[in-house]
Amino acid sequence: MSDNLNRRGRVLRLKTGYNPNSSSVGTDIPTFLAIAASAGAATTIALHLLDVARERILRQATTPENADAEAEAEE
């Protein structure tokens, strides 16, 4: 029995995330998911900021001060 233990191979090196029998696309999937999530979050934030800017512009255009100035300009 001790002869069987001595004949076994040894692990010389361990490569994580690498399988020579499969494609390497599997290692890229977490990166793609992170990029997609980041793009979605960035789009949501950008659209919110654009909506806030639009609301401010509309609010300034409809204030009574601006309406009085426009009425005086028409006369």
What is the dihedral sign for C-alpha 32, 37, 42, 43? Answer: positive
Q: Residue 49 domain-assigned?
A: yes
Q: Residue 57 domain-assigned?
A: yes
Count of domains for the chain: 1
What residues have CB less than 8 Å from 19, skipping those under 6 apart? Answer: 26
More confident: 72 or 40: 40
Instruction: Please give the model's pTM, rounded to 2 decimal places.
Output: 0.51
Rounded Cα gap, residues 19 and 6, in angstroms: 27
Q: Residue 48 domain-assigned?
A: yes
Which residue range forms the structural domain that includes residue 63?
39-75
What pLDDT, in 10s, does the model give residues 11-60? 787 777 666 666 666 778 888 999 999 999 999 999 999 999 999 999 98
Q: Residue 8 domain-assigned?
A: no
pLDDT at 5 over 60: no
Q: Residue 55 domain-assigned?
A: yes
Q: Residue 62 domain-assigned?
A: yes
| Four-CA torsion 54, 60, 62, 65, nearest 10 degrees | 180
